[in-house]
Amino acid sequence: MVSTVKHIITLRPLFHNEKDCIGIYFPYNQTLIKEVKAINGVKWSQSNQCWYIINTPENFKHLLAHFKGKAWLDIRALQSEHKSVKFISTKQKHQAKTPKKEVQKKIEEVEIPYSYKALLERQRYSPNTIKTYCSLFEQFLRFYPNKHPNDITEDDIRTYQDYLVKKRKVSISTQNQAINAIKFYYEKVKGGERKTYYIERPKRGKTLPNILSENEVLRILKSTTNLKHKSIIACLYSSGLRIGELLNLRISDVSFDKNIIFVRGGKGNKDRTTILSHNLKFVLKKYISIYKPNYWLFEGPSRKKYSRSSVNQSIKKSAKAAGITQRVSSHTFRHSFATHLLEKGVDLRYIQTLLGHSSSKTTEIYTYVSNKSIAKIKSPLDEILEDKNVNNNKLKNN
């Protein structure tokens, strides 16, 4: 018998009005709306733009029974919310005299709650932050394979933090991100409840940014023969852009008449403008005329945004050709941009605006790496010796 079911309904976990619910999603359809309204306990959520019902085993079974023969139910996301994910024991990697092929364990993928990623997207977190948070939260769930996220305690979170620090020896930055990813689930996804974890959040050490000299920047640009790559590196340095901001640039964001670049949705989803180098204008115009980008200023072969890996590879190649031995990344040019402006006497507040820093304390780090500013400070030894020379001359003249 051939099935006549044409409609597809997706059931997803939903936390609404401080309760665990089942979200019922489908394209607008009068027939399905009528069917949903006929189910006792189903309500419409204006904020989530979906129908929902309290998440209980009875309601779940009732949904399956009600739509049988009327619509296909996609319940994969809902199942991942309740199923405990099993993993192969990590004890394998500590077994002695075991062949490498046997030691390599196959880890099943963890399906993090659908509501976790959905809320990140609704709150307009950047794609990179979403990817990082999901990855870190997934690692956290792997650490407790036999526990549902709602059953994990404060002590469990503390134990995992100790594991990150003592066993994995992650950086302070990674540790902080992992804590934020975990807190996002328990405080934001689960209804905004601020649980008291008493996690000792580490203070980030004050590390000075790595910068290039003006001569080194010039050598890198001269060593870059590819016009697109030369335009990218020149743009990063002359405007102080982050790599994500560079890749998000549209052709229309560059104002050749006003000598500015409009940065859309920078860090923290903040728009700003930064300077467009007079010399870069000619390079960009030549690049546009030859490469003919369609929408994004820097595009790949398929007309999509140019990839981060391509930018990083081109920078690494150019730095090597220029004989630069220190590690050079896209952010190195941003650091160099800020430091060189400071050395030219540009006010720190203007540099803060150009970089898009929300706090002046972030920009102040460049005062520690400005060689010319430091060189202007006279050593107290020179002051003492100069005073003594003056006194000695006076004595000799007498």
Residues annotated as catalytic (active site), given as ranges: 242, 267, 331, 334, 357, 366
Q: Which tokens sit at 126? A: 């950047």
User: What sign for the dihedral angle of Cα 253, 225, 294, 257?
Assistant: positive
- CA nearest 288: which of 251, 236, 253, 255? 251
C-alpha distance from residue 9 to each of 13, 32, 151 (Å): 13, 9, 29
Residues 170, 162: contact at Cβ < 8 Å?
no
- CA nearest 44: which of 17, 69, 18, 81? 17
Residues 151, 91: contact at Cβ < 8 Å?
no
Q: What is the DSSP string of 65-93?
A: HHTTTTEEEE-HHHHHHHSPPP---GGGG
d(CA 172, CA 189): 25
- CA nearest 246: which of 259, 256, 257, 231? 231
Q: Which residue is it, tokens 């189903």?
A: 42
Give the DSSP letter of residue 196. Answer: -
Burial (Cβ within 10 Å: 0-12, 13-18, ≥19) of residue 257: exposed
d(CA 329, CA 243): 9
Q: Which tokens sit at 244? A: 């994500």
E-strand ranges in 148-278 read 254-255, 260-263, 272-275
Q: 172-183 and 154-162 are packed helices; what angle lies between their axes, rounded to 10 degrees?
A: 160
Q: Which tokens sit at 380? A: 């107290």
Name residue 393's amino acid: N
